[in-house]
Amino acid sequence: MHSFEIAALDRGLEKALNNKVDRKTKPLGALGQLERIAVQIGLIQQSLTPRLNNPQMLVFAGDHGAAKAGVSAYPQDVTWQMVENFLAGGAAINVFARQNGLGLSVVDAGVAHDFGDERDGLIDLKIAPGTANYLEQPAMSAAQCAQAIEQGAGVVLGLAVAGCNVVGFGEMGIGNTASASLLTHCLTSTPLAECIGRGTGLDDAGLARKEALLAQALARYRAAGGSDDAFSVLAEFGGFEIATMVGAMLAAAEARMVLLIDGFIVGAAALVASKLAPEMLDYCVFCHRSAEAGHAAQLRTMRAEPLLDLGLRLGEGTGAALAYPLLLAATNFLAEMASFESAGVSDKT
């Protein structure tokens, strides 16, 4: 598997960045989390005047073998139908990306559908038409998991060459909240029931069925001697879209990009990536607090404080796209807002 060299942030500039923030024409701390984000982006870019260039959203799509067993309220065909919706520009993520000037590409990591020849906006990295059913066997082989990570890294390296220094992560895959719940349980030691939510809208009976199926999958893995090693858990329960996203995140951190982390499923990929390379968290901005049950466990484990709390649970990267203007606000106030000295404003006595 690709070995990633991710450096922890050099904090040598931190004092100067904090001083620059504090000397702006405002009371100390008055811009709240924007101040924290401004300093973080400054440290990532090692600059007192950081800039966000050529921002891109990547939506990773894949199907899950377990979806056919009933872990989702929607049929599996919705995955490819939504990919077509993304390509046609009709989904929520398209609306928010357009609104906020974000480029958007869809990565087919393993959708159970043939999209035909080259399609504008679609990156074909299909490993197989969906993972195996983890209720019966590992979702993917170790080789497939490593391939997905490698291919995800390649996509982001291409963006970096094109001058992108901020990338948002989104996903699409019927059944992927179930996958994310299993990953979250194994990597945070949170009780499985606290990691499972209604996903795309299960009723009480559907939720109970989902809980029983995931407990069954976990029991099979444990009986086979399954460990809580991040790569092993990812291969066992992950989706191709999640594994490909892990590689993309690690490569983005290696390239010193700003990573916009969406909600629960993207959070599961970030959780795996952070177990493989803890330094990658330095480069992550957690964009929103998902209404999905397991997201709280992810945020606790990664010690993350999300920017938005809007009750979102759509996925697609919508929370990341909605948070992007706040990052722009952070870099812009740092660059453009007057200081007490330059404005001739009296400081507090």
Q: Which domains are seen in the chain, by residue range?
A: 11-50+334-343 (1.10.1610), 56-327 (3.40.50.10210)
pLDDT for position 1: 65
Q: Do residues 177 and 199 make contact, with C-beta atoms less than 8 angstroms apart?
A: yes
The low-confidence residues of the chain, meaning pLDDT below 70, are 1
φ, ψ for residue 100, nearest 5 deg: -105, 15
- Nearest in space to 248 (alpha carbons), one of 140, 188, 159: 159
pLDDT for position 277: 97
Q: What share of the chain is helix, strand, coil (3-state, %, to 5)?
A: 50, 10, 40
The amino acid at residue 270 is: A
- Beta strand 103-110 with 166-172: parallel, antiparallel or unpaired? unpaired
Q: Which two tokens stand for residue 169?
A: 């992560």
Q: What is the pTM of this model?
A: 0.97
pLDDT for position 3: 85
pLDDT for position 274: 98
- Nearest in space to 76 (alpha carbons), one of 171, 170, 172, 175: 175
pLDDT for position 19: 97
Q: Do residues 174 and 80 make contact, with C-beta atoms less than 8 angstroms apart?
A: no
- Nearest in space to 166 (alpha carbons), one of 34, 74, 77, 41: 41
Catalytic residue among 305, 316, 336, 341: 316
pLDDT for position 178: 94
pLDDT for position 136: 95
Cα 158-169-130 angle, rounded to 5 deg: 90
Q: Is 316 a catalytic residue?
A: yes
